[in-house]
Amino acid sequence: MEDQDKIIEELESDVSELIEKELESSSAIIGINVGTPEGTKITSRFKNPINMSVGEVTAANSSLVFLSSKMLRDSLNQDVGYNLITGKDRIVLSILSENITMIAYLNRELADLEGLDSYINRLQKLALQISAIIETSDILKEEIFKGLKRAIPNTLVLAIITKDGLPIKIQSTMPEPILSAMIAALYNLSGVLLESGMEYSIIGGVNGSVIIHELDENRILALAVPESDERKLGSYIAKIKAIILKVI
Amino acid sequence: MKMFMKIITAGNGGVGKTTLLYRYVEGKFLTDTKATLGVEFFWKVFNAKEKQIDLQLWDFGGQQVFRHILKNYASGANGALILFDLTNKSSLEHIDEWVDICR
C-alpha cells in the first residue's frame, strides 16, 4: 500500500499541473477529478469545494463509466467516449480514456454560452494527455499486482517484465534479473514454437505451476501458484484475463 | 541510483562463453562444462560512479542447432560480447554470423 501511495503522490503532481492549467484557462470548468478505472483516486481539483469527498467522486465516476460502457456495449456494441449529465446549474462530463476515468464539473450557463462541443473536445484531449502520463507510470503495474493478489491469493511469485527480459515489478525470492530473463526466454521460445504470438503458457508440476501470460504489446506477466489442478489453473487464467482487460 | 543492463555473450560452441561468465560472476574457473542448451543466465551486481549496475547476462548456446532461436533473445540487449577461440579458426570465421544474430 505504501508503494501505491508513493506512486500516486508522484503522479498527482504531474497530473495536477495539467488540470490546474485547464481550470485557469476556462471559467466554465468548476473542477476535475481523475481516477483509475478501478476507482483509485489519482488527483482532484475544484475551484470551490463540493459536498462529496474526492474518494466518493472517484468511486461514483468509476461506477458511472462502468455502467455507461456496459449499456452502450450491450445495446449498440459501441465503446463509450463520454457521459454527459445535465442539471439545472451544473453539467457533469465523464470521460473514459485508455487507463483513466475523468470527471469534469461545468457551470452550465457558461458552458452553454461557449459551446458544449468545444468542452467535450478539450476535456477529451486533456484525458488523453493524462492517460499518457499514467501509462508510463507505475500505477498500472500496481493495479495489476493488487488485482492479482486479491483474485489469486495463494500466488507465490508474481512478475511483470518486458518481452526483452527487463524486470518491471517482481515479487519473488529468485533474483530479479534471472527470473525476468527466464520468463522472457520462455515467452520468446513459445512464440518460435507456435510460429505466432503466445497468449499464455502453463508450466505444470506435481504440486505447483507457473503461468506466463501476455500482458500487452511489450510486457509479460508471470505467476507461480502451489496448484496443479487443471480446472483451478483454468480459472486462474480467466481471472488474469479479466484483470488485464480491466486495467490495461 | 540503479541501472539494469542486458548483455549477451555469443560465439561458436566450445569457445568458453559459459566458463568466462562463470569466472566473472562466481570467481571460479570451470574445468568441465556441458554445451549450453539454447540459453543460460547469469547475474552480476557491481557499482560504478555511485550507480548500482545489475547485469543480466544471457549466455547463448553456441551450437548450430540453437542459432535460429537466438535472434529472438537478442532484442533489447544493451551490449554483446562475441567470443572466439584463438586456437580455432572456424570460430573466428563465424563472427559475422554472431554479429547478425545479436543485432
What DSSP string runs through A168-191? EEEESSS-HHHHHHHHHHHHHHHH
Assess B73–A contact: CB distance below 8 Å, yes or no: yes
Assess B7–A contact: CB distance below 8 Å, yes or no: no
Assess B2–A contact: CB distance below 8 Å, yes or no: no
Q: Angle, nearest 10°, between helix axes A116-135 and A139-151?
A: 70
Task: Give residue A4's pLDDT.
Answer: 58
pLDDT tens per residue, range A186-237: 999 998 888 888 899 999 998 899 999 998 888 899 999 999 998 999 999 9
Residue B15 maps to which CATH number?
Answer: 3.40.50.300
CB-based contacts of A184, cutoff 8 Å, min separation 6: A161, A162, A163, A164, A165, A220, B73
Question: Which strand (E) or helix (H) includes residue A163?
Answer: none
For chain B, what is the domain count?
A: 1
Assess B3–A contact: CB distance below 8 Å, yes or no: no
Domains of chain A: 2-135 (3.30.450.30), 139-247 (3.30.450.30)
CA atoms B56, B57, B61, B67: torsion sign: positive
Here the cell at position A226 is: 502451489
Spatial distance between the Cα atoms of B84 and B98, rounded to a whole number of angstroms: 10
- Does the distance separating the beta carbons of A166 and B76 come in below 8 Å? yes
- Does the distance separating the beta carbons of A163 and B76 come in below 8 Å? yes
> How many CB pairs (< 8 A) connect A and B?
50
pTM of the model: 0.65
Answer yes or no: is pLDDT of A75 > 80: yes
Looking at beta carbons, which residues of chain B come within 8 Å of A167?
4
Interface test with B, best of A164, A182, A187 (most B CBs within 10 A): A164
Assess A159–B contact: CB distance below 8 Å, yes or no: no
Task: Give residue B2's pLDDT.
Answer: 78
* Residue B48, domain extent: 2-102
- Does the distance separating the beta carbons of A175 and B43 come in below 8 Å? yes
What's the whole-number average pLDDT of chain A? 87
Cβ-nearest to B6 among A164, A175, A192? A164
Spatial distance between the Cα atoms of A166 and A67, rounded to a whole number of angstroms: 37
